[in-house]
Structure 1
Amino acid sequence: MKFPLRSQVGHLIVFIVAFIAFTNAEASVDTVTTYSASMKKEIKALVITPDSYDESKDYPVVYLLHGFSGNYKDWFTKVPSIESYANRYELIIVTPDGNFGSWYWDSPVNPQSKYETYVAEELVDFIDQQYSTIASRSGRAITGLSMGGHGALYLAFRHQDRFGAAGSMSGGVDIGPFPENWQMKDYLGAKAEFPERWKSYSVMGQLHLLSQNNLALIVSCGTGDFFYPVNLKLHEELTYNNIPHTFMTGPGGHTWNYWADAVQYHLLYFHNYFQSN
């Protein structure tokens, strides 16, 4: 049966309008205040839920960590397309505050800096209580940039009961070569005084916790990045130890342009992980 041309055009217009409305649908962005019992203070985070969010469904969650000197708003303000990825993959994105330069450790020097406990335990519990999530490791992933790339892998390696997938973008995955940088000695003490501590508080010092196929891993770093040598070393160590992972590299420096591009691949990687589980 053939429709009159006017009817066909009308159907086409309705389809186009519906398509535009769907593709332009905005995710919901909440600023939440969480309480850290371990640090006895309130900490903010952004929670991005897809436009399709429905409390009768459970959604996977990606925790996205900022870098040194950043804050919980960085990913949202510097990469506005983050909202569209929450819609596209129907997942929740959480961007917590990791303080100016905590490196996401429970500091052995500063008892007021327990960001490992905060992100991996307190924040995860809060999100699972307040939102409709897949409250298991199969529904959680974590990644970040620079200091946050280190933090994401460090936390995931040490909390494999919490996270099933993890990534790093331009991560400071081996802190050893940088003993005077980014105020790390304020949280660990001087490297010359505590060399073993500096080893164990680095991503490279946590590789012994990994086993085959227990964590889905993706690591990205541009060849022009000052962290490229340590990321290449991580890739080589993971390969030597037969730990499956995706290693992505190419032209790029320690810049938001690189991270805005890289995060697309990380979120697609996590989406595929969630779908397979």
Structure 2
Amino acid sequence: MAFLQCQFYSNSLEIMTSVNVILPEKIEGPLPTLYLLHGLSDDHTVWGRRTSIERYAAEYQLAVVMPAVNRSFYTDMAYGAKYWTFISEELPERVRSMFPLSPEREYNFAAGLSMGGYGAMKLGLSHPDRYAAVASMSGAVDSTRLTRDEFVNDMTYMFGTADQLKNSSNDLFALANQVSTKGVVPLLYQCCGTEDFLYEDNIRFRDHLTQLGLALTYEEEPGEHEWGYWDWKIQRVLSWLPIPNRK
């Protein structure tokens, strides 16, 4: 695999930004692509430092795109930059202009941990026509609850008030309601350790998706909010992805 570090000016963010990309060294046609998203206290380098994602992805001839989004919660912030516009619109266009990545829905996936699990679910539920499958590991999936709780200051900068967030395009529960009425819905994967501080949030979101009849693979087992768990579960996510022509 090849590991590339990219810096470019983002028109959405109006600043220079960084993206790490993993590519197969022998490329045969447009590549299936996984957008792999980081958590609140991390950056675009963390997946490469804390897991063996480069080695894991090699088995699947999969491109992995790891962007930096700071403490944005993958949203056009109430008091900050337009990170949702960047991650959902600008980033795919930019990386496809630089690398041989497939634009086809069946070749595009998203996954992430914690804040990144929220981001991955948001991509899939907001744009079911663009992603075949998305995965959340220990995801911060109930952003409305977090706005009222321990992350209230962070969440206010990102979303505004809890009332502004609820039932908006940043509310995963509302997005799930909307996508359940559409003909095209991505496959969904969700996991969380039973000792994780976000476990109860994940149970609520799991039950909501199940009640809507969405195609959800849910897994739980003993585990906390830490990298040993995520290094293990990203391997499970890669094996679960419906990559066409998997070797």
Could you tell me the TM-score, scaled by structure 2's length?
0.91
Aligned to 1:16: none
**Among 115, 119, 122, which residue is 2:83 paired with?**
115
Q: Which structure has the larger Rg over C-alpha atoms? A: 1
SS in 1 for 2:13: coil
1:66-77 alignment to 2 at 5 Å? 66-77=38-49
Cα distance per residue 1:19-62 (max 9 Å; x no partner): xxxxxxxx11100113321221121010001233x2x5211000
Deviations 1:104-132 (A, max 9, x none): 0112x22x421111111111011111111
Of 57, 60, 65 in structure 2, the residue corresponding to residue 94 of structure 1 is 65
- Matched-pair contact (CA < 8 Å) for 1:153–1:168: yes
Give the deviation of 1:162 after TM superposition.
2.3
Contact 2:112 2:135 (C-alpha < 8 Å) held by counterparts: yes
- Structure 2 partner of 1:45: 19
Gaps of 5+ in 2: none
Distance 2:205 2:141 in 1: 7
1:225 corresponds to: 196
Q: Which of residues 139, 147, 157 in structure 2 aligns to 1:171?
A: 139
Q: Displacement of 1:175 after TM fit? A: 1.7
* 1:58 maps to which of 30, 55, 59: 30
Aligned partner (choices 177, 181, 185) of residue 150 of structure 2:
181
Residue aligned with 1:132, SS: coil
Comparing 61-70 and 169-178, the one that deviates more: 169-178
Paired position in structure 2 for 1:103: 73
2:172 is aligned with 1:203: yes
Alignment partner of 1:216 out of 187, 205, 211:
187
The DSSP-based 3-state class of the residue aligned with 1:95 is strand
**Whole-angstrom CA distance in 2 between matches of 1:37 and 1:161:** 24
Alpha-carbon distance in 1 for matches of 2:82, 2:245: 33
What residue number does 2:244 align with?
274
Which residue of structure 2 aligns with residue 6 of structure 1? none
> How many residues align structurally?
240
- Percent identical among aligned pairs is 32
Paired residues of 2:128 and 2:184 also in contact (CA < 8 A): no
Q: SS state of the match for residue 248, structure 1?
A: strand
Aligned mates of 1:82, 1:255 — CA distance in 2: 16
1:129 aligns with 2:97: yes
Q: Which runs of 5+ in 1 are unaligned?
A: 1-26
8 Å contact kept, 2:144–2:165: no
- The one-letter code sitting in structure 2 at the alignment partner of 1:70 is D
Q: 1:184 and 1:164 mapped to 2: Cα distance?
A: 29
Cα contact 1:213–1:244 (8 A) shared by 2: no
Three-state SS of the structure 2 residue aligned to 1:76 is helix
Looking at both structures, which has the greater relative contact order when contacts are Cα pairs under 8 Å and sequence separation is at least 6?
A: 2
Contact 2:125/2:185 (8 A) holds in 1: no
- Tell me which amino acid in the other structure corresponds to 1:68: L
When the two chains are superposed, the root-mean-square deviation of aligned CA atoms in Å is: 1.7
Q: SS of 2:20's equivalent?
A: strand
> How far is 1:199 from its partner?
4.1
Separation (CA, whole Å) in 2 of partners of 1:222 and 1:118: 30
Asked if 2 retains the 8 angstrom alpha-carbon contact of 1:176 and 1:199, the reply is no
- Deviation string, structure 1 residues 59-105 (Cα, Å, up to 9, x no partner): 100001000021000100111x1111221000100110011x10001
